[in-house]
Amino acid sequence: MKFPKQHTLEQIAEIINSKFVGDKDFPVLGMNEIHVVTSGDIVFVDHPKYYDKALQSAATIILINKDVPCPEGKALLISNDPFRDFNKLTKHFKPFKSSNISIAKSAVIGKNTIIQPNCFIGNNVVIGNNCTIHSNVSIYDGTIIGNNVIIHANTVLGSSAFYYKNRPDGFDQLISGGRVVIENDVDLGASCTIDRGVTGDTTIKQGTKIDNLVQIGHDTIIGKKCLIASQVGIAGCTIIEDEVTIWGQVGVTSGVTVGKKAVLSAKSGVSKSLEGGKHYFGVPAEDFRSKYKEIASIKKIPEILKKLKDKKV
């Protein structure tokens, strides 16, 4: 998430009431999670396990809960609670704006686009040409939709990321300030839910077709011309490359990559990155042929045990 204009390190420190290490005029351009940071971004870290990763990342401003040596060319924001202060910055730069009308005045809707009754279109939404948005669809603030997109009833675009910190008094949510981006020629079935990015974009690329009742987590990227069947759940920060087929009730964990033209059979569970161009099945998902050979072997166990027992007799 880039800020509307450049800020200084001192200005950011004042917003979150923290001390800083570095030139007070050090430029701050935005804030992002570690997997999408670039120069000028703030990244937060609050666990010693990840200090080095954050300090050595592309981010040039590290919001951290310990006094550490500042890497050359970077700056630090010292906070007793980086998670809380990252939320403060999101609220400051991307505050929630309520709406009392169905289609926000700031929304931009293209030519020949049809919006059926009872839809909600939030602030600064952009919808392209020749789209059809069926009844009861909710499109949250900042969502970008391309041309020739079809969205069926009750689908929700832009809900918050499922991202929480466990506190002694309950769970504290990391506030989402990112977007959902739907490219051209995408079809979304009924009752799908696509979460916005925490700071970046959750993206569905051109030509992908998604069935009913599919959940896609924050900051996930779905490639071009993918087919995703009903009741699939894809966690956040996942990459599904182009032309992947995912059949019903597949679950995909966070942070993995599924390679181009892979096929995931129904009810598979993806717990690690998978190479493209192969067919996968099972929990955990493995090569289709190998998995079926394994199942066939397991079925022979009773027969093998019986033969061993007969030999002993």
Query: What are the tens digits of pLDDT across the range 109-160?
Result: 999 999 999 999 999 999 999 999 999 999 999 999 999 999 999 999 999 9
Q: Is the pLDDT of residue 247 over 70?
A: yes
Residues 76, 114 share a domain? no
CA separation, residue 98 to residues 9, 87, 142, 157, 253 (Å)? 30, 18, 13, 16, 33
Percentage of residues in the chain with pLDDT exceeding 70?
Answer: 99
Same domain for 79 and 199, yes or no, is: no
What are φ and ψ of residue 264, in 5° steps?
-110, 115
**Is residue 54 domain-shared with residue 131, that is, in the same domain?**
no
Residues known to be catalytic: 218
Minimal CA–CA distance to 127: which of 157, 153, 154, 161?
157
User: What pTM value is reported for the model?
Assistant: 0.92
Which has the closest alpha carbon to 266: 215, 295, 228? 228
Say how far apart CA 287 and CA 282 lie, in whole Å: 9
Q: In degrees rounded to 5, what are phi and psi of residue 80? A: -80, -5
Number of domains forming the structure of the chain: 2
126 and 159 within one domain = yes
9/140 same-domain check = no
Which band of pLDDT confidence, cut at 50, 70 and 90, is reported for residue 313?
Answer: low
Residues 224 and 266 in one domain: yes
